[in-house]
Structure formats: C-alpha cells, structure tokens
Homo-oligomer: A and B are copies of this chain.
Amino acid sequence: DNTARLLVQGNDRPGIVSELSTLLTTQGANIISLDQYSTDPQRGLFFQRTEFYLDGLSAALPDLEAAISQTCERLGLTWTLSVASRRKRVAILASKTDHCLLDLLWRQRRGQIDMDVEMVIDNHPDLASQVREFGVPYFHVPVVDGDKKAVEARHLELLQGNVDLVVLARYMQIISDDFLQQVGVPVINIHHSFLPAFIGAGPYQKAKDRGVKLIGATAHYVTKDLDEGPIIEQDVVRVGHSHTTNELVQRGADVERAVLSRAVAWHCEDRVMRHGNSTVVFA
C-alpha cells in the first residue's frame, strides 16, 4: 500500500539522480529499486524509474507531488507518479480468437499482472461465458452494416473515463486516428509477426510463402500508422518446412499470448517509457 513509482524523463544534465533521490529521502521515502539510463554520457536523454516505499503514502502524496513537480519543472523534466496499489484499469478488445484474451484474464486472476480488467469488448459473441467465468463484464459490440464509426462511438462511450489502458487482444480491426485521440489513454496491440517483417494482414501465410525458420509476435503501442508504433516486446519460435500455415498460426498463438502478457504487465508496473518511436523498458 505504501509503494509508489516515479518515472522521469527529459534532457540529461549532471545532478538529476542526486536531486530526485535526495527529494525522496527528504520526504521520508526508502528507494527499493532504481533504474536509470542516459542515451549518451553527455547531453543525451535521461530516463529514470524509481520504486520507493513511504510510510503513510496517501497522506503524504500532495506534498510529495508538489515537491516533485517543482523540482522537475526546474530541471526541465516530465514525470508521472503512480501508487502501486492503484492498479491500472484495463479494457480488452477481442474478436474471435481466445488465446490472448484468456491468457490476460488468467494471469490477472493468479496475480501475475497488476491490473483490474474493467471490461471485455468483443465484436463476436462467442467468448461471453468464458469471460464472465472470470467475473469480468463482457460487452458485445458487433459491426452493423459495416458502420465502423458507430462501433467506435459505442466503444468510446464504454471506455472514456473508465479505463487507463486499452489492450487489443487480436482485435483485428483498424483503429481510427480519431478514436486514438478521443480515448485519451495508451492502446497496446499485439501484431502476429516479428515486426517489421510481414507488416499488414496475413503474416503467417506470408511467412510460410517466404520459408522463414522463425515466426514471431510484436506488442506495441498503437499510433496512427498501422504496425509502426513503439515496440514494447517481441519474441519468436522456431518453425520448420513441415509446418503448415495452420500450424504456424497455432505456434504463433503461443508467442502472441506470451509477448502481449509481458508487455501489458510491464506497462501496468510502469516499466515502459516512450520517446519518439522507441521505448525504454526497465524490466
């Protein structure tokens, strides 16, 4: 209950680690773990994640935030402070396939991902009972007459104000730039290839046609450019000439669920920082 995480980034300059750790110590905090990275020994970009313990954290929060704000403003840094016990509220968007969705729900139930799944939104009705078995609200939002605008509007009604993160668990629909701006929270997608190989639709068929010896999956933040957002995590699995495209799909599913679950877990533990089209992951 008394653990928090401070993320800070900006232009590097001497003394930032010292100022921030002194600030935390002065406020009575004990630093549990600190990860720091600069892109260059001099004049690079600075990234820091600090996890700390502070007795009576919630009472101390206003003063702490004021102090951090003041220091970071002076040093030209941006920051976010997360209380570990306030778990991220997550919506999962799914389609027909169940592997990524069920793995996220199962890991949340066994305490491996620090999140509260507030809802699952699905454009096919098949997974309703399985989702509700986990005690999670399930909303079926079908595409009617190809009206994707209407679907996104319905999604926004459900999501806005209610979640801190949207996860596309093989949702398979293109998200409009407009939606991304309005939803106002990060969106993580799992792409079923080792990006940037096999961008776009049908990556397993493309992989079979090209005769690759490994297939992969990529979890990334969604930006307006399809499959081009900052990569959080990737992994691969070995395949051979005897595997059919369908077997690639099955083997790939194992990688997809593992990669997406790791990416979501890291995001929910405030281990991922974005800059440009890249990520810094303190995992």
Contact = CB atoms under 8 A, between A and B. Distances in A.
Contact of A234 (B15, B53, B196, B213): B213
A83 interface: no
A41 B37 contact: no
A21 interface: yes
A60 interface: no
A166 B134 CA distance: 28
A31 interface: yes
A25 B36 contact: no
Nearest to A197: B197
Contacts of A29: 14
Contacts of A38: 31-33
A192 to B, nearest CB: 14
A182 interface: no
Interface stretch (A61-69, A71-79, A172-180, A236-244): A236-244
A123 interface: no
Contacts of A41: 3, 30, 32, 53
B102 A106 contact: yes
Is the interface on chain A under 10, 10 to 19, 20 to 34, or 35 or more residues? 35 or more
Contacts of A18: 18, 21-22, 24-26, 31
Contacts of A198: 196
A55 B231 CA distance: 36
Contacts of A213: 231-234, 281
A154 B44 CA distance: 49
Interface string A64-105: 000000000000000000000000000000000011001000
B24 A42 contact: no
B241 A212 contact: no
A112 interface: yes
A201 interface: no
24 contacts: A12-B30, A13-B30, A17-B21, A17-B31, A18-B18, A18-B25, A19-B25, A21-B21, A22-B22, A33-B36, A37-B242, A129-B133, A130-B133, A194-B197, A194-B214, A194-B236, A197-B197, A210-B231, A211-B279, A213-B281, A214-B236, A236-B236, A241-B280, A241-B281
Given A14-B31, A18-B18, A31-B38, 12 more contacts: A3-B41, A17-B34, A18-B22, A31-B36, A37-B241, A37-B242, A99-B110, A129-B133, A194-B214, A196-B198, A213-B232, A241-B281
For the complex of A and B, 4 pairs with smallest distance between CB atoms = A211-B278, A197-B197, A18-B25, A18-B21
